Structure 1
């Protein structure tokens, strides 16, 4: 049940929430991240993520959301703090918040810990830096039931609160792993995973001509720079999505969705 209400922004717990929200170094040091929103928190809980504390604004959450939280966490000994509306608005990082925020322990996996089916479908992102793009790709991975999302040399931490928000909680339903380019390539080679680099090169072939039914990794670069030459050249095949208009490329999350669902289509034939 809730403890005494928090009404001051100088409360140490509130100050710590702000640090966790703003600094990836704090999230790494404390092994925690922030999930805002009942929907996202319900998905995280369903995926088995450990929740350590709840911060609830009764004025925003309302009786229905509070009852849902009691049903989810009432018997788990999770600390529950009521927060005034003025204080909650300082820690909320989305517009139209529903008054629910939680501290959770994100699941940290390595490549070697990832269980692989016979024909894994992996989405590989190199140097992703925009949490919104990472979140959108995680939603695609969840919808397609991809095996995992693997990020090489990330420029944002995988459990950035904004990535969680953009993923609507799919950060927790899809195994998500940070690694380096050499580690990824060696691991793919050991497991017989064919790598397809999405890049505009002379050697690239239309994605619809490729066979994605076997062990497959779809490798995507950043919107600004694309893939590094080192990773592009190390992949087994370069592929493109043919452009029919004036523009020569798509948003990386859109391009990833197109390639992913082509792989899903082939696997269902």
Structure 2
């Protein structure tokens, strides 16, 4: 239940720890915690089985209805803290927050933890560095019911609060794994998963020419650099989305969505 005393000082040790967790990936790893901001994101995470450790709620922002719902859902938590609006706005990651913030233990998976169907659909991202792009791709994966999102050699913390926010909590609904390029390629080969590198090369063929009804992994690079030559050449096929205008590429999250839903269309 909410604590009787309101936290009104940003110098409170718990608030200072929240700020460290917000700002420092190393701190999140050391404490094995991440921050989930927002009632919707928290609800999705809880439904996905994420272990919530503590709640920080601003009654003024959350409102009575949301407070009652939170008490019903999380009333048995050992830690629940009410905070003033000024303090909450200091720790909130986004403007216009709804007054709900949680500390949670993020799921940690490896490739061997993934339970795949006979014809899996996987999204592979190499060296992703923008939490916003990761979040958008996770939303696509959730909507398309992809079986996993696999990050090769990530440059960002998968459970960065901004990635959680931009995914609207879908990072908890889609199995997400960080691994290396070598481990990914060996794992796909062992399971007969065909890898399709999205890259602008002379030998790339339009994605509409391929059959994605079998075990499929779309392999996407960064917007700045694309795929590394090592990963691109190791994939089974290289595909492109034909472009009819002046530009030659799309935002990586948009390109991923186009390819993913083409696979869904074929499979349906």
Q: TM-score, normalised by structure 2?
A: 0.99
Say yes or no: does 1:211 pair with 2:211: yes
Superposed displacement of residue 193, structure 1: 0.4
- Once the two structures are superposed, residues 131-179 of structure 1 have per-residue CA deviations (whole angstroms, 9 ceiling, x without a partner) of 0000000000000000000000000011100000000010100000000
Aligned to 2:73: 72
Superposed displacement of residue 78, structure 1: 4.1
Superposed displacement of residue 67, structure 1: 1.1
Q: CA RMSD for the aligned pairs?
A: 0.6
Aligned length: 267
Say yes or no: does 1:153 pair with 2:156: no
Superposed displacement of residue 77, structure 1: 2.5
Give, in whole Å, the separation in 2 of the partners of 1:247 and 1:101. Answer: 41
Say yes or no: does 1:119 pair with 2:119: yes
Superposed displacement of residue 79, structure 1: 1.4
Contact 1:57 1:84 in 2 (8 A): yes
Superposed displacement of residue 2, structure 1: 1.1
Contact 2:54 2:77 in 1 (8 A): no
Contact 1:200 1:240 in 2 (8 A): yes
Aligned to 1:169: 169
Gaps of 5+ in 1: none
Contact 1:61 1:100 in 2 (8 A): yes
Superposed displacement of residue 65, structure 1: 1.1
Give, in whole Å, the separation in 1 of the partners of 2:209 and 2:116. Answer: 25
Give, in whole Å, the separation in 1 of the partners of 2:69 and 2:156. Answer: 32
- Once the two structures are superposed, residues 211-245 of structure 1 have per-residue CA deviations (whole angstroms, 9 ceiling, x without a partner) of 11000000000000000000000000000000000
Contact 2:36 2:161 in 1 (8 A): yes
Give, in whole Å, the separation in 2 of the partners of 1:16 and 1:28. Answer: 13
Say yes or no: does 1:17 pair with 2:7: no
Give, in whole Å, the separation in 2 of the partners of 1:78 and 1:198. Answer: 47
- Once the two structures are superposed, residues 42-65 of structure 1 have per-residue CA deviations (whole angstroms, 9 ceiling, x without a partner) of 000000000000000011111011
Matches for 1:1-269 after TM superposition, within 5 Å: 1-3=1-3, 4-74=5-75, 76-268=76-268
Contact 1:119 1:216 in 2 (8 A): yes
Superposed displacement of residue 70, structure 1: 1.1
SS of the residue corresponding to residue 128 of structure 1 reads coil
Give, in whole Å, the separation in 2 of the partners of 1:260 and 1:37. Answer: 28
Q: Which runs of 4+ in 1 moved over 6 A?
A: none
Give, in whole Å, the separation in 2 of the partners of 1:240 and 1:82. Answer: 51
Contact 2:50 2:107 in 1 (8 A): yes
- Once the two structures are superposed, residues 60-91 of structure 1 have per-residue CA deviations (whole angstroms, 9 ceiling, x without a partner) of 111011111112112x3241100011110110
Contact 1:54 1:78 in 2 (8 A): no
Give, in whole Å, the separation in 1 of the partners of 2:48 and 2:73. Answer: 13
Give, in whole Å, the separation in 2 of the partners of 1:13 and 1:83. Answer: 11
Superposed displacement of residue 5, structure 1: 1.5
Give, in whole Å, the separation in 2 of the partners of 1:215 and 1:111. Answer: 15
Change over 3 Å in CA distance of 1:121–1:63 after alignment to 2:
same
